[in-house]
Amino acid sequence: MRSNVSEHPVGRLSDAWRFAVGTGRFELALRRDYQDSLALLQREIGFRHIRGHGLFSDGVGVHRLYEYRGERHVRHNFTYLDQVVDAYLELGIRPFLELGFMPAGLASGEQTVFWWRGNVTPPRSHTEWADLVRATVGHLVDRYGLAEVRGWPIEVWNEPDLTDFWQDADTDAYHRLYEVTAHAVKEVDAALQVGGPALSPGAGDDWLPRFAEFVTDRSVPVDFVSRHAYTSGPAQHVPFGVHQTLAPAGRLLEQFASPRRQLAGTPLAELPVHVTEFNSSYRPDNPIHDTAFHAAYLAPVLAAGGDLVDSFAYWTFSDMFEEQGVPTTLFHGGFGLLTHRQIKKPTYHLYAFMSRLGDQVLARGADHLVTRDDSGRVTVLAWAPVDVTGRDPVDGHAVRLSLPVAPARTAFLLRSSVSEEAGNAWRPWCELGRPASPTARQLDLLREAAEPARRHASLPVVAGRVELDLHLTRHEVTLAEVTPVTDETPPWWDERRLLGGPA
């Protein structure tokens, strides 16, 4: 059955998917290959903010202890911080600052997370922690200007509801940290944006209401609320990786919607909601991220997520992502890998497709999104349904639409697709024997295989409409761009004469 798309917009497409993207630990941005990868991302997609862990961890070296005349002193050192932020701004992306983890010289304990040992204990001195926050934020204001830094959200810690990320998942201790931090930020400038609590998907329904009650009762500043969203089950470990079950992608949208539901009727009900991490799996060593399945799985989330939250940040953009150690394979956790010559993944292409949609929404469906831009170009993002159990994969799917176009005799169709066979470097990497250190020739092959399939056609326009039939293969995501044609063919042109034949 063909769906008739109205010529009248039903809304505008939110760019909440583009507001922010995740990254690995902060100091990875000092690497040239990382910066090259981010430059590619910004050139082809263009995110506004970037968020990662470890701003205050020892690898960045902001909090430096020293002894002078027998007394303990602290020096705040911004050498690496400045280099990273300078690089971000040069590439047209701004920080979404996450304040954590605890510097070793300020930590109250030795509990750490990840191989690079991010300390997750409260500060031994909240006064010294407040000094660190004020000094850092104040330095950023001095260096980049108040008007600039007012546009950078500042998030307090990461997933304090999990014992892995906050000692004992102590709610009261986090509330105290948040209070001290928020006041320290506002002492630099009252218009700076501070928020939290960056909860994990496993946080109980009481965590956010208790946070709202705390900040309300004590008049603690809060400008936005944040949480994370994932759909993966327990990790099934294999050497240097994991496999996990997945819930249907709609579960991500349910998690996006939960903060507004939990905060209804509270003073925080109307605050912006940022999902500062989302993905299928939180594990960088789960190969599901590298597959065509993953792009089709996330397509409905990107198409609808902006109706529920102010932003949702993919975790993470790059395979330079070392939570579980230095990567041991070509593919590892992000949706692009420039260290191996710009090999892109299907999920990268999904985001690139999103960046080419128009802002006027003409129609939404369970398997498609139709938009139009001011030039009259109509764009269709369509995706094949996926089976998260893997037992009954969908091998063929059709999307049939009747699209309104501006007056013309014909329209030009450009269709770009990723699937199991196209735009999917994972498949040929497997067929090449999964080389751990591909040769230059193998890398060239993989880079070429990673490009989407593209095709084009001329479509007739009848009564101001184009009939578009999209036949999708297994795990395919496709972008169809339909542009009305102004025919400028000269009257003497005759295709039959191309090889010197008679008129």
- Contact status, residue 124 vs residue 72, Cβ threshold 8 Å: no
CA angle 380, 384, 389 (to 5 degrees): 150
| Coil, strand or helix at 81 | helix
- C-alpha to C-alpha distance for 159 and 104, rounded to whole angstroms: 19
261 phi and psi angles, rounded to 5 deg: -65, -45
In sequence order, the β-bridge partners of residue 64 are: 75
Residue 303: both structure tokens together: 């198409």
| Strand locations in 148-212 (E) | 154-156, 194-199
Cα-Cα-Cα-Cα dihedral sign, residues 169, 171, 176, 179: positive
Cβ-based neighbour number of residue 497 at 10 Å: 11
User: Which residues does the annotation mark as catalytic?
Assistant: 159, 277
Cβ-based neighbour number of residue 457 at 10 Å: 10
Query: 381: exposed, middle or buried (C-beta count within 10 Å: 0-12, 13-18, 19+)?
Result: buried
49 contacts: CB under 8 Å, gap ≥ 6 = 19, 20, 21, 93, 94, 95, 96, 152, 153, 311, 313
